Amino acid sequence: MCASRWQQGLQQFDSVLPLSRLRFKSRSYSSSRINPTAIINSPLKRTFAISLGIDSKSGQGLQRFGFVLPTSLALANKEGKNKLEERLKDPNYWANLCNLQVDTGKYEEAKAACEEVIALRPKNPLAWANHSGVLLKMEKYPEAIASAEQALKFDKKTSLALTYKCIAFSALRRNEEALDACNQALKVDGNWGRKSPKLAWINRGAILSTLGQYEKAIIAFDRTLLLEGRDSLALAYRCQVYTKQKQFEAAVSDCSSAIAGNGDWGNKSKTFALFNRAQANRQLNKLEVAVADYDELLAIDPNDAIAWASQGMVLEKLAQ
């Protein structure tokens, strides 16, 4: 590539000074042996430089032909190294990297980035809260609680940390402690980081549903939907509660809205809504519709044993 650019330059120069008269250091120029420093040292350097747009004193302009002077290269390397060192000392760089890695599902890398933030800002509550969130994604629930506690040590009103404690306790089936943490997160309404109260409301509703407190669970999901009207997960959870309450028409409506919603399924997926809609349709004696829901579910997750068994019972009933 360098030789090609150099030859283009020589063609320009040759129109001013024939190539046969060009000599560097008493040697005829050969395009197969490029010596860029000769441009600076040659007696013909001024004429040559002017024709090619090169500064005859500094040599600046050689880069046009694929050459980088050693001094310029060293300065560029030094500047690049300084910028990199500044970036590595910037906690915002690591915080952004942590969030980006979480968004792409690279949790080990996210954890490492979050720990760099903590190393630079050990008393930053949001840094600890974000670390807790990554540990939740990795299903390291006791560690997630510990990191959330560290966040609360520096700021008791870090709602994000309280919510992550709620989620971790729920995963450990410590529902009373989980509910208390979610309630506290909503009560203090402090720092939510990149999240919002929606996260606490939806998890509060899920815990209340597990505890059989369906009316309170529906209220929690209603509050979630006030913040995000098309939230797929909240609609699917409410669909599930309506099914448990034998309000099957309302359940089918909510699950259909969930499937058409914003696609935010949290730690679940579209199969959650399909299963609950199939169950509701089954209770409404819409068996063929239920079978279609099971088919769609199993196309997404062919290893769902409960869905296979449920569909089998519906097919058996249809055959009778």
The per-residue DSSP string of 141-170 comes to HHHHHHHHHHHHHH-TT-HHHHHHHHHHHH
Instruction: Answer whether 29's CB lies under 8 Å from 9's CB.
Output: no
Query: Residue 150 in contact with residue 137, Cβ under 8 Å?
Result: no
Asked whether residue 186 is domain-assigned, the answer is no
Encoded tokens for 281:
């349709």
CATH number of the domain encompassing residue 312: 1.25.40.10
Please give the model's pTM, rounded to 2 decimal places. 0.72
Instruction: Decide which of 69, 84, 117 is a domain's last residue.
Output: 69
Q: Which domain holds residue 52?
A: 11-69
CA-nearest of 270, 229, 278 to 251 is 278
Burial (CB < 10 A; 0-12, 13-18, 19+), residue 309, is: exposed
Count of CB atoms within 10 A of residue 57's CB?
10
| 242, part of any domain | yes
18 inside domain: yes
**Confidence (pLDDT) at 20:** 40
- The pLDDT value recorded for residue 75 is 55
Q: What dihedral do alpha carbons 240, 241, 247, 249 form, nearest 10°?
A: -40
Print pLDDT tens along the chain (320 aa): 444 554 555 455 444 444 344 333 333 344 334 444 444 444 444 444 444 454 544 545 544 444 444 555 555 565 555 555 666 789 999 999 999 999 999 999 999 999 999 999 999 999 999 999 999 999 999 999 999 999 999 999 999 999 999 999 999 999 999 999 999 999 999 999 999 999 999 999 999 999 999 999 999 999 999 999 999 999 999 999 999 999 999 999 999 999 999 999 999 999 999 999 999 999 999 999 999 999 999 999 999 999 999 999 999 999 97
Rounded distance between C-alpha atoms, residue 69 and residue 32, angstroms: 20
Torsion angle of C-alpha atoms 48, 52, 57, 60, degrees rounded to 10: -150
Least Cα distance to 200 among 174, 166, 172, 229 occurs for 166
- Whether 188 is covered by a domain: the verdict is no
Domain count, the chain: 2
Decide if 81 is inside a domain: no
CA dist 89 and 234 (Å) reads: 40
221 in a structural domain: no
Considering the domain boundaries, does residue 43 fall inside one?
Answer: yes
Of 69, 84, 107, at which residue does a domain stop? 69
* Rounded-to-integer distance, Cα 91 and Cα 257, Å: 41
Backbone dihedral region for residue 53 (phi beyond 0: left; psi -120 to 50: alpha; all else: beta): left
Of 69, 89, 112, the one marking the end of a domain is 69
Q: From CA 253, how far away is CA 259, in angstroms rounded?
A: 10
How much is the pLDDT for 88? 72
Q: For the stretch 29-52, what's the b/e string if a residue is b when 16 or more beta carbons lie within 10 angstroms of its beta carbon?
A: beeeebebebbbebeebeebbebb
Cβ atoms of 254 and 240 within 8 Å: the answer is no
Any domain includes 189: no
